[in-house]
Amino acid sequence: MFRRILCTLSVTLTLSIPAATAHAKPQWLDAFNARYPAATELTTCGVCHTNFSSNSSRNPYGLAFKSASGPDNPDAAFAAIENADSDGDGTSNIDEIDTDAGFYPGWTCATIDSAVNKPSGVDDVVDPSDPGCLGVTTTSSTTSTSTTTTTLPSDLNCAQPVSTGAAPVASDCLFILNVAVGTQSCTPDACVCDATGDGGVAATDALLCLNVAVGGAAPLNCPCGGGDPVVGEQIYDTDCSFCHSAGVHDPIGEFSSDLAGDGALLVSDLGTISSAMNGITLTDQDIADLAAFLDGL
């Protein structure tokens, strides 16, 4: 599915989830891994069982595998159930397995909490339309397309619609790719998915996110959130320091207030705050950068 849309991202986007060691019936898991070598996340008993680290009762995909005579001829059974949607999440088994480094075709966000010994972070590879299992609120469908809308947190950082850490992770980039191809909606703050800052969300935004996620130095440029405090300091020094102070950075303000921590007060036309600032305007990115500097003092 997504591999056909953006094969380079599909090959590279590898989520970091500790894999439990499979003990029981390794020949069936080996057969699965041999048939789907790109699905490197799916290396546990949880592919077919309700326990991720040992033989146990079967999940829906495991039941379908058994019904297709999988124990006797696993490769043929896997092929026979590829076009089914065993877990009922709206994505076929093969599309789940082929998305990124693999999504579990036997689990959904609604059922994964019942799994035994599930690996940390497995929610990220349960449902391709809802990475991270953030909670789908609405789904609209036609005969040919389906779009899922997920309610995102309000305190988002640039290129981080899913995670809340110091930098984007692969699941953020996959979410942005989903937005780019129309299977996700980045709401309420769509700008956090616009990593390039060009006014829209496209595959290039997902690639930029991925570059940063793997340690690249390419700058994120969302028109909201994720401001650069270094750039913000330069804006302050150029446009604000003559009248204002900014905490310990610039403790002497001869005419006006201390702006430390007041990033929320910034607007695009500063003249609307005071006529003394007539002619001083800020872009959305300027506001984000300056706010990041002021709020970090």
* pLDDT of 258 above 50: yes
The interaxial angle of helices 170-181 and 203-213, nearest 10 deg, is 180
Taking residues 79-91, report their average pLDDT.
89
Tokens of 1: 């599915």
Q: Which CATH number fits domain 229-295: 3.40.50, 1.10.760, 1.10.10, 1.10.287?
A: 1.10.760
Q: How confident is the model at residue 253 (pLDDT cuts 50, 70, 90)?
A: low
How high is the pLDDT of residue 204? 92
CA dist 248 and 231 (Å) reads 17
* pLDDT of 233 above 60: yes
* pLDDT of 119 above 60: yes
Taking residues 244-272, report their average pLDDT.
84
| Residue 154 CB neighbours (<10 A) | 7
Helix (H, G, I), strand (E, B) or coil at 187: strand
CA dist 121 and 115 (Å) reads 13
The whole-chain average pLDDT of the chain stands at 78
Taking residues 10-24, report their average pLDDT.
40
How high is the pLDDT of residue 225? 52
Percent of the chain beyond pLDDT 90? 14
Map 236-248 to HEC letters: HHHHCCCCCEECC
Residue with tokens 């991202």: 9
* pLDDT of 140 above 50: no
User: Rounded to a whole number, what is the distance in angstroms from the first to the last CA of the chain?
Assistant: 46
Q: In the chain, what are the domain boundaries? A: 2-125, 140-213, 229-295
Residue type, 210: L
- Phi/psi of residue 281, each to 5°? -125, 155
* pLDDT of 132 above 90: no
Full-model pTM? 0.42
How high is the pLDDT of residue 170? 87
* pLDDT of 193 above 70: yes
* pLDDT of 19 above 50: no
Q: How confident is the model at residue 207 (pLDDT cuts 50, 70, 90)?
A: very high
